[in-house]
Structure 1
Amino acid sequence: MLTSALTSVARISLCRSGIGGLIGQAPGVRAAYSRWALYRLNVGGVFNGCFGSWDEAMAAIPSDRLAGWDHDAAAAIFDAPLSRQPSVYASMFWLSQLLRPGDRIVDLGGGAAITQRLHTARAPLPRGVHWTVVETPAVARFGASLAEKGDLGGVTFVDSLDAAGACDVFFSAGAMQYMPDGLGTLGAVLAKRPRAVVLNKLPLAAAADYWTLQNFGPAVCPYRVWRRSDFIAAVTAQGYALKDAWDVVELACDIPFHPELYVPMFAGLAFVRTDP
């Protein structure tokens, strides 16, 4: 318990206060932290550095570390009991309100159909709803193997949005920030005019807009944080209205030596198309 308290104090000091910025100016401190943060294998969600682009962040990943989510080791993360994060219930509520019988839902970055499994464990989907998960090839293969064993029903796994086709409802939870152009990818989806869009676990900041690196255990990946107002404006500009927004209190972005970049909680958003 004492160790946990000390860890919390250290995190607050390094990531959320001016003390962290001052410590980061000491010679060798940032380099030493980077070595520690990028090579840890037994923890997930460790952030490091601030970058101006995907390419710049990728170049900072050590050559002897796996990068991105397209690896069997990354896919193995989903071979675990389903978590019960509070924000899941907000997204499930909006899916229950928006899905209609016979709808097609595309779930970008859905892992092993995590949200579909959490939803159906608590309430049935409308009759005839078909759920397509779009994932990296490695994760899609893992999900498909579960489906083949009969562990999943009514779910298809593909490794590209083109393969998924058009949809009535588009959903994504905690995946767009790992993509080279997540907002651009969303724009391409909106061009196909889904009726509704539900997004969860988005790292949205009040003022900042930047890239960082996240070590999620098996690998390291560039990680995008968007300015909240810009993100919402990009979606509404394509003919969608913001129906609801909620706080994702279980997730935060703490980057040592960068207190100005601290994101205290992530966000969830639900949009509906404005034209008939």
Structure 2
Amino acid sequence: MADLQATPIWQGKPSRIPFVRRWQDAWYERRFLAHVAPTHHIYRGVYASFDEAKASIPAGRTAGYDNAGAADMYRDRTRRVFINDYPMIYWLERFFGQGARSVFDLGGHIGIAYYAYQRYLEYPDGVAWTVQDVPAVNAAGRAWADTHDARRTLAFVPSISEALGADILFAAGSLQYLEYTLVDAVEALPRRPRFLLLNSVPVHGTTTYFTVQNMGVTCCPYRVTSERDFLGSLTDAGYTLLDRWENPHRHCTVPFHPELSLDRYFGFAFARGAGA
């Protein structure tokens, strides 16, 4: 999904003149809250924590994915893939070839990847694909599956704790919305997934921070992780990086913070153990 292109008035650093800076902030806050186009995402603010970012969303404003507006998004993506999906399809096929049969799709919405990828990849017999998402999205996913899941191998669960025993932990564009980090979730599982397959991850060269994303129908706290924090934590948890790729079609422009803005996102494939 394309993000709204930055306009010159907020591409640069904030003014050092106090009254000009207050005007910049007020002007952009009005623009941010007025944004209602679901085809574009815009961002506002830099925060130290998920809770701080969440607290900055005005009371009465729809927040997070647990609502009808967010649950109704992305139907078109069940029928198409994007250029950065092809590495995911490649590694998913490799992992299936190594015996993986259970996929735990973290934040997989209504099963977007499950539907889209099977048009390009033959799922082996015995595959079980489980999506974990918020209640409103899970309900929408089950309703969609009633008429679209011909294989009857898609399930929906409310908690990542149910990833116990999964061969592949799959996350495509969802890690940035979580209150917890991926490594915290993985380390809490008594049996960790054999493979991690991650896409559209916003990674900054040096800094971990939170911002707020307005996707038109809702506002969400949004995590950007430093490369050292992201890769280092998974390495420490016993995972070996097999591959990484870039998606230059996704970007995150944080107004008045060009040093924190991203001009691309990343994808990663990991396997557990040094002999992966």
Deviation at 1:152, TM superposition (A): 4.9
Match of 2:96 in 1: 99
**Maintained 8 Å contact 1:199/1:270:** yes
| d(CA) in 1 for partners of 2:120, 2:235 | 31
1:98-247 counterparts in 2 under 5 A? Answer: 98-100=95-97, 103-153=101-151, 154-188=153-187, 192-247=191-246
Deviation at 1:23, TM superposition (A): 8.3
| d(CA) in 1 for partners of 2:102, 2:264 | 30
1:48 pairs with 41, 44, 49, which one?
44
1:14 pairs with 10, 14, 26, which one?
10
| d(CA) in 1 for partners of 2:231, 2:138 | 29
Match of 2:58 in 1: 62
Match of 2:81 in 1: 84
| d(CA) in 2 for partners of 1:77, 1:188 | 31
Alpha-carbon spacing, 1:174–1:102, altered in 2? closer, same or farther (3 Å): closer
Match of 2:67 in 1: 71
Alpha-carbon spacing, 1:125–1:75, altered in 2? closer, same or farther (3 Å): same
Alpha-carbon spacing, 1:96–1:174, altered in 2? closer, same or farther (3 Å): same
Match of 2:23 in 1: 28
Amino acid at match of 1:95: L
Aligned to 1:21, the other structure's residue is in SS state: coil
**Maintained 8 Å contact 1:171/1:198:** yes
Deviation at 1:149, TM superposition (A): 2.2
Alpha-carbon spacing, 1:274–1:122, altered in 2? closer, same or farther (3 Å): same
Deviation at 1:92, TM superposition (A): 1.1
Deviation at 1:31, TM superposition (A): 2.0
Percent identical residues? 32
Alpha-carbon spacing, 1:56–1:160, altered in 2? closer, same or farther (3 Å): same
CA RMSD of aligned residues (A): 2.2
| d(CA) in 1 for partners of 2:84, 2:259 | 25
Amino acid at match of 1:63: A
Match of 1:4 in 2: none
- Gaps (5+ residues) in structure 1? 1-6
Deviations 1:156-199 (A, max 9, x none): 11121234542011100111111111335443366522111111
Aligned to 1:211, the other structure's residue is in SS state: strand
Deviation at 1:21, TM superposition (A): 3.0
**Maintained 8 Å contact 1:194/1:273:** yes
**TM value normalised by structure 1:** 0.89
Aligned to 1:259, the other structure's residue is in SS state: coil
- Gaps (5+ residues) in structure 2? none
Deviating beyond 6 angstroms after TM superposition, the runs of 4 or more aligned structure 1 residues are none
Alpha-carbon spacing, 1:243–1:33, altered in 2? closer, same or farther (3 Å): same
**Maintained 8 Å contact 2:42/2:213:** yes
Deviation at 1:38, TM superposition (A): 2.6
Deviations 1:49-107 (A, max 9, x none): 11111111111101121111111111001333545321111111111111245611100
**Maintained 8 Å contact 1:85/1:250:** no
